């Protein structure tokens, strides 16, 4: 198994009380971005 970690994980929270989703829907939103690749080798 071959694994390439191309970009480290980045977490983006939207927890500010002035954000639209917090104000109107009473929920916090979290997002994550990561790039990687995996495959089988002989």
CA 14/CA 24 separation, integer angstroms = 13
The structure's pTM equals 0.51
CA 24/CA 17 separation, integer angstroms = 10
For the segment 15-32, what is each residue's pLDDT rounded down to a tens digit? 888 888 888 888 999 999
Domain boundaries, the chain: 2-39
In whole angstroms, how large is the CA radius of gyration of the chain? 17
CA 2/CA 34 separation, integer angstroms = 17
Q: Is the pLDDT of residue 10 over 90?
A: yes
């Amino acid at each position: 198994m071959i694994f390439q970690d191309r970009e480290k994980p980045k977490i983006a929270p939207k927890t500010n009380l002035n954000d639209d989703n917090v104000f109107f829907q009473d929920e916090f939103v979290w997002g994550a971005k990561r790039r990687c690749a995996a495959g089988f080798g002989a």
